[in-house]
Structure 1
């Protein structure tokens, strides 16, 4: 497999890619934690970029400004801040997203030769949150991406600092990507993780929480059907992280209707160019750049 890897990787980076055993683990459990693959310098640059972003500085404006989550100062500062498509607006965050090691790991895990960006989210959690409202509820990413054809999409989570359980890390339910009947698992804003988890167990499922406790420079990956959320931030420090949502080579747009008969539309469709048949082009390089290619 090494011979097909993009030559942008150094020999040191090649040694950091997941092994076949790692890939088998990901396929069985729905998640993977990398070695330290990002330098402190890259992350510190991303922190500076996030601060510029929160101060209102933009290097590029988006073609639309509605239809996606976009925290603004008037929403309050002592709250969870969730901003999507940040790498399209900020050069430092784009530089992080475009690090070839990220796409190369994703390509191996998804067994694909090409990885494209789908979306990203900059998430800030305020410190000292005793009421638990900085928790993010259980959800499966693919439940929000019903107009994507692929069931092989994946997400990488990048904390900008050491991340233990006290600071509110991402947490996954082990093996949940293999559960059936989870297509409507969209509870991002439900802070009560225990109650939701009890509901899963009530349906006869075994739930095993795995917190993504990482050192600065490590990143985690999870399958698009892996149910995950994040714990409250009880620490004295802010929690700042970037989630990068990734497309495999086979992903395309498809029409999709809700159970109520309403045609579903996601923000990605509003951002990109159209194909000759009028469908959104999920390979538009301006919105969904290639992060890795072994071709």
Structure 2
């Protein structure tokens, strides 16, 4: 890992967030990088995505249910959401595990190590006039109840220039500081305005910030930042990879909901067990390290 540190120090230091950028992230819950991913890495990921959609795999997951996994028979003119693609496709893994992504995330989260937690390859069909290609408002951490950390974060990587017409990610500014969002899980509710009215109750100020990025840029958002995405009104498909990341201190914690039911997340089924029987969220086979220093 030291070599990666040296390479970044020599060639990519200017691409890392400054102290002012880190303060902005902590205040607003999001950050947009400079161009940090080479075009050729993304172009290879686009080709790998096409092969993935055709059913090609470099490796198989140990599970077959319990996660989002679009297949051809689901139809083409819909949102395609496939999880854990970096564990199944070598070229998508190369993109997801780019050291610069981990280095930026480590600075933003003020940690010395970043591991993968999950990832999602999301495709939106073009010319959506119904609004159904929108992704509903949600907080990632609301889906990760058995994670101990509240410093988890997500990198969002569009595979092309993505303006407001092409269905970009949209964050609600400073929403990571809101209380009472632990059940904000409306990924599949494309009626964004309906949920916005709910958020405005109690005097919350809803400020929507589209992540309009150029190819090679990456946006990052805090695990409690509420976000969704706009419909894709453009004439081109929208393809992006969301890479969910762990800080060094994250580990498994048991969790029970309000009804007293013990909750589990599918990530627990992908990794080895610790001596006490708990899932090991540092298992490198399932949760590889992107960055360490």
TM-score (norm 2): 0.98
Query: Residue 91 of structure 1 aligns with which residue?
Result: 90
Shift of 1:8: 3.6
SS in 2 for 1:221: strand
Tell me what 2:24 maps to: 25
Match in the other structure for 1:275: 274
Change (3 A) 1:54 1:5: closer
Distance 1:71 1:258 in 2: 29
Match of 1:35 in 2: 34
What is the CA deviation profile of residues 242-264 of structure 1, one whole-angstrom value per residue up to 9, with x for unaligned ones?
00000000000000011222111
C-alpha separation between the residues in 2 aligned to 1:118 and 1:7? 25
- Name the structure 1 match of 2:208: 209
User: In the TM superposition, what whole-angstrom CA distance separates every residue of 1:147-187 from its partner, at most 9, and x where no partner exists?
Assistant: 00000000000000000000000000000000000000000
Q: Matches of 2:174 and 2:158 in 1, distance apart?
A: 22
Whole-Å Cα distance in 1 between the matches of residues 84 and 12 of structure 2?
Answer: 27
Q: What SS does the aligned partner of 1:244 have?
A: strand
Counterpart position of 2:134: 135
- Secondary structure at the aligned position of 1:229 is classed as strand
Cα deviation code 1:85-108 (max 9, x no counterpart): 000000000001121100000000
Q: Structure 2: state its 5+ residue gaps.
A: none
Q: Give me the whole-angstrom Cα distance separating, in 2, the residues matched to 1:256 and 1:281.
A: 16
- Aligned CA-pair RMSD: 1.2
* Matching residue of 2:157: 158
Matches within 5 A, 1:211-226: 211-226=210-225
**CA distance in structure 1 between the partners assigned to 2:168 and 2:259 by the alignment:** 35
Rounded to whole Å, the distance in 2 between the matches of 1:200 and 1:177 is 13
Q: Deviations over 1:206-255 (max 9, x none)?
A: 00000000000000000000000000000000000000000000000000
Question: Does the alignment pair 1:231 with 2:230?
Answer: yes
User: What displacement does 1:10 show?
Assistant: 5.8
SS state at 2:165 partner:
helix
Q: CA deviation at 1:9?
A: 2.1
Task: Judge conservation of contact 1:5–1:104 (CA < 8 Å) in 2.
Answer: no
C-alpha separation in 1, matches of 2:207 and 2:67: 31
Whole-angstrom distance in 1 between the partners of 2:174 and 2:156: 18
- Say whether the 8 Å CA contact 2:4–2:99 is kept in structure 1: no
Name the structure 2 match of 1:266.
265
Farther off after superposition, 3-12 or 214-223? 3-12
Q: Partner residue of 1:70?
A: 69
1:250 equivalent in structure 2: 249
How many angstroms apart in 2 are the aligned matches of 1:174 and 1:5? 33
- The alignment of Structure 1 onto Structure 2 pairs a total of residues equal to 292
Structure 1 segments (4+ residues) deviating >4 Å:
none
Runs (5+) with no aligned partner, structure 1? none
Q: Distance in 2 between matches of 1:90 and 1:67?
A: 19
Structure 1 residue 14 displacement after superposition: 1.1
Is contact 1:147–1:255 with CA below 8 Å preserved after alignment? yes
SS at match of 2:242: strand
1:289 aligns with 2:291: no
Q: Report the equivalent of 1:125.
A: 124
Q: 2:118–2:267: 8 Å Cα contact kept in structure 1? A: yes
Deviation string, structure 1 residues 8-67 (Cα, Å, up to 9, x no partner)? 426331110000000000000000000000111010011011111001000000011111
Where in structure 2 are the equivalents of 1:167-178 lying within 5 Å?
167-178=166-177
CA distance in 1, matches of 2:275, 2:130: 51
